[in-house]
Structure 1
Amino acid sequence: MKKVLGIIGGVGPLATMFLGEMIVRRTLAFTDQEHVHTIIDNDTTIPDRTAYILDQTKENPVPYLIRDANKLANAGANIICIPCNTAHTFYDELQAATKLPVIHMIRETAKRASSLGAKRVGLLATDGTIKAEVYQRALLEEGIEPVIPDEATQKEVMSIIYDFVKAGKDVTASQWISIEQAMLKLGCEKVILGCTELSIVNKDLKLSDYYIDSLIVLAESAIVSCGYEIVDQPSKKMIQTIR
């Protein structure tokens, strides 16, 4: 029996819309009726997750996430996903507060890295995600060594996330290449795009398969979890390298 997908969105808004697009593009379907029934709550009132992780005097996003999960349940959703890696810091609290199963984006992405045979994997994510160590734990559980960027590279990553993508500005290949080179120097076999704003960069710059895109992993996990099939290798024509 097919399930209705509920998406807690607005975290950020563009990544939410891109997730919806990826679910449509990667579902094996030939008519409108064969696609995943999806309910999207693009809730832009959810407080910044990284801000709260770094400073708990800031507003707590958890009550908002719980409210939205219950709202989606009342609207008819059977399963929930959240296009925000940092929000998964609060996964246990959210899952305990809702009757619906919540897809764990970070664990699914770590499993994807393992399936690709990677043993040393870089992480590009927000300061909050890195501090919470949710990816580090998930990767270690898969027998993978997590690699964190140096301080200068992390500042570049945060600037791209907040000063560019969240601000509606385009990121250029020349901006990205220094980040890629830094991760190559650290000996990373693969690099996880562990922030959904970086998935927008992937979409725009058509990054190579050196990267594991957590938003694409989430889209595919959501499709399968709802009882649908994934289109085989739908993005092969899009894969290019900026190296």
Structure 2
Amino acid sequence: MILACNTSHLFLPQIYKKVPEAKSAVINIIHSCVEQISKDNVKQVFLLGSEGTIESKVYQEALSEKGIICKVPQKEQYVLLRNCIEAVKQNKYSDEVKKSFQELMDEYDVPIILGCTELPILYEKYKDGIDVTVYDPLLIALKKLKEECENE
């Protein structure tokens, strides 16, 4: 099982306490992403995600355990992130959304985690001109699941 929502991973420990056998059935997209970043020997990343994902520190804590520095947007930039996420949810793209997304993607010259389900969709739409390594946690988890299925 894969939870597509990054923020929902905050509740996995509570679920595992109530249903311990669920732990072996869930592929944690955050852990899969952090494992890949660590395997790639990346030392610093920039996390783009929802306010819930950023403020819950689910990525920052997992990355810190691997010695990886995680930069996050300033609180003033949350409105830009929210507008980008909502544009995907509502299928309403504009030059303003593109500009905001590119501004966020250009914030730091380090690999970026697209830590919200909607952001990889926006990335695919606006990736021309963006020259940075991007980690899509859901895609990484799906590749992991595929490898596990092929090895069975």
RMSD of the TM alignment (CA)? 1.9
Matching residue within 82, 85, 98 for 1:161 = 85
Report the Cα offset of residue 117 of structure 1: 1.6
CA distance in 2, matches of 1:171, 1:121: 27
CA distance in 1, matches of 2:131, 2:146: 23
Aligned to 2:142: 219
- What's the secondary structure of 2:113's corresponding residue? strand
Which structure exhibits the higher relative contact order, with contacts defined as CA atoms closer than 8 Å and separated by 6 or more residues?
A: 2
Asked whether the equivalents of residues 121 and 144 of structure 1 are also in contact (C-alpha less than 8 Å), the reply is yes
Report the Cα offset of residue 92 of structure 1: 1.2
The number of residue pairs the alignment matches comes to 144
Alpha-carbon displacement from aligned partner over 1:36-83 (angstroms, at most 9, x marks no partner): xxxxxxxxxxxxxxxxxxxxxxxxxxxxxxxxxxxxxxxxxxxx1111
Task: Give the unaligned 5+ runs of structure 2.
Answer: none
Task: Give the unaligned 5+ runs of structure 1.
Answer: 1-79, 230-243
Report the Cα offset of residue 157 of structure 1: 1.0
**TM-score under structure 2 normalisation?**
0.84
Aligned to 1:144: 68
- What's the secondary structure of 2:85's corresponding residue? helix
- What's the secondary structure of 1:170's corresponding residue? coil
Aligned to 1:112: 36
Asked whether the equivalents of residues 44 and 69 of structure 2 are also in contact (C-alpha less than 8 Å), the reply is yes
Residues 1-243 of structure 1 correspond to what in structure 2 (within 5 A)?
Answer: 80-98=1-19, 99-100=21-22, 101-162=25-86, 164-170=87-93, 172=95, 173-184=98-109, 189-206=110-127, 208-225=131-148, 227-228=149-150
Identity, % of aligned positions? 28
Asked whether the equivalents of residues 124 and 194 of structure 1 are also in contact (C-alpha less than 8 Å), the reply is yes
Report the Cα offset of residue 208 of structure 1: 4.6
CA distance in 1, matches of 2:18, 2:3: 15
Structure that is richer in helix per residue: 2
Moved more, 149-158 or 165-174: 165-174
Instruction: State which structure, 1 or 2, has the greater radius of gyration over its C-alpha atoms.
Output: 1
Report the Cα offset of residue 160 of structure 1: 0.8
Alpha-carbon displacement from aligned partner over 1:92-111 (angstroms, at most 9, x marks no partner): 12234443421111011111
- What's the secondary structure of 1:174's corresponding residue? helix
**TM-score under structure 1 normalisation?**
0.54
Asked whether the equivalents of residues 49 and 115 of structure 2 are also in contact (C-alpha less than 8 Å), the reply is yes
